[in-house]
């Protein structure tokens, strides 16, 4: 028999005053209670209770052993609570990957709040516009733009990733303000070079805009194609041309007047954004808490 269970039954017998009352509290038969007591006495080689048909009385050793059982069972309960806390407390290394611009402008500033909430979690953040395989790369969680085919992963939808067409006031003063999407064909447009296989690769030379008359595809050209949004952002701020960039990158400049919205009545398409992770890793507290944090911060309301 399990010695800790037998000790627990013994404590119940002492406190309840009889084996019958203890059996009710332990949800077992009186015979089973007696078996636990006999197992303890045989293990110890000492009698714990003097029993008659009418009453029971602790032996001298039984009284001392009762106090020791309380101490031991209390330590066992404390140890179990400690283990539960350890299993539920987020700790360890959490490996995160995200698209570069989202990671710099949205994720990185938010991670300070997560770190304050869960200081035992250390983060290894990989910012890349490629799509690393979570399992092969040893990553715990990924922010993923666009469509994906990893059916073996859990995908939680986040708020869409939105874009704005904009330019520096200096460029507009020099070249004029485009009024319609078709006007963009007469302007210097700076385009993002999407990696091979990206579902937005066609955007490099053709911008898709939606307005009062529906969707319009505009062939654009300009002096530069670049594979980083941050570089395009800096080029646009100098007045080099018109760009279509993530709101996360340009919203502060738009508020400050360093950039102005172009063809404001027409909206670029948004991109779906998801949070991906393997279902069998969700039980890890560090990942579970991060998923909850991400959904609270960027989840759809």
In the prediction, which pLDDT does 282 show?
Answer: 87
Pairing type for strands 154-161 and 141-145 reads unpaired
In the prediction, which pLDDT does 203 show?
Answer: 57
Count of Cβ atoms closer than 10 Å to residue 96 Cβ: 23
User: Would you state the structure tokens that stand for residue 93, as one six-digit string?
Assistant: 């290394």
Instruction: Give the C-alpha separation, 17 to 114, whole Å.
Output: 53
Under 8 Å between Cβ of 37 and 9:
yes
Mean pLDDT by 10 residues, the chain (301 residues): 88 89 89 91 90 81 92 85 68 94 94 96 93 87 83 90 95 95 95 70 75 89 90 96 94 96 92 92 90 94 69
CATH architecture of 163-269: 3-Layer(aba) Sandwich (3.40)
CATH architecture of 3-84: Orthogonal Bundle (1.10)
**Domain positions in the chain:** 3-84, 92-161+272-298, 163-269
In the prediction, which pLDDT does 134 show?
Answer: 87
Task: Please tell me the class of the 92-161+272-298 domain.
Answer: alpha beta
Written as one string, the DSSP assignment of 188-214 is -EEEE-PPTT-TTGGGGTEEEEEETTE
Q: What angle do CA 105, 106, 111 make, to 5 degrees?
A: 115
Long-range interactions of 281-286: CB distance < 8 A, separation 24+: 281/140, 282/154, 284/92, 284/140, 285/87, 285/88, 285/89, 285/90, 285/91, 286/90, 286/91, 286/92, 286/94, 286/118, 286/121, 286/140
Q: Are 3-84 and 92-161+272-298 the same fold in CATH?
A: no
Instruction: Give the C-alpha separation, 47 to 53, whole Å.
Output: 17
Under 8 Å between Cβ of 66 and 109:
no
In the prediction, which pLDDT does 39 show?
Answer: 92
């Amino acid at each position: 028999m399990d010695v800790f269970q037998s000790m627990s039954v013994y404590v119940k017998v002492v406190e309840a005053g009889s084996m019958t009352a203890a059996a009710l509290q332990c949800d077992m038969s009186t015979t089973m209670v007696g078996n636990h007591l006999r197992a303890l006495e045989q293990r110890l080689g000492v009698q714990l209770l003097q029993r008659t048909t009418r009453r029971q009385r602790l032996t001298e050793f039984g009284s001392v052993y009762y106090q020791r059982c309380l101490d031991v069972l209390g330590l066992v309960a404390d140890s179990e609570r400690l283990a539960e806390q350890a299993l539920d407390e987020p700790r360890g290394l959490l490996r995160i990957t995200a698209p570069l611009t989202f990671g710099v402008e949205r994720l990185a500033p938010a991670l300070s709040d997560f770190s304050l909430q869960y200081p035992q979690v250390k983060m290894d953040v990989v910012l890349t516009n490629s799509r690393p395989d979570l399992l092969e790369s040893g990553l715990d969680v990924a922010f993923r733009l666009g469509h994906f085919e990893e059916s073996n992963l859990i995908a939680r939808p986040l708020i869409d990733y939105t874009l704005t067409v904009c330019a520096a006031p200096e460029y507009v003063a020099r070249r004029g303000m485009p009024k319609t999407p078709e006007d963009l064909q007469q302007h210097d447009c700076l385009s993002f070079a999407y990696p091979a296989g990206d579902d937005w690769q066609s955007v490099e030379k053709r911008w898709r805009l939606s307005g009062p008359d529906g969707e319009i595809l505009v062939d654009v050209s300009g002096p530069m194609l670049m594979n980083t949004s941050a570089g395009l952002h800096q080029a646009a701020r100098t007045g080099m041309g018109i760009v279509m960039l993530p709101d996360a990158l340009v919203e502060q400049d738009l508020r400050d007047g360093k950039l102005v919205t172009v063809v404001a009545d027409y909206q670029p398409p948004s991109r779906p954004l998801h949070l991906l992770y393997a279902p069998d890793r969700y039980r890890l507290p560090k990942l579970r808490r991060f998923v909850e944090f991400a959904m609270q911060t960027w989840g759809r309301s």
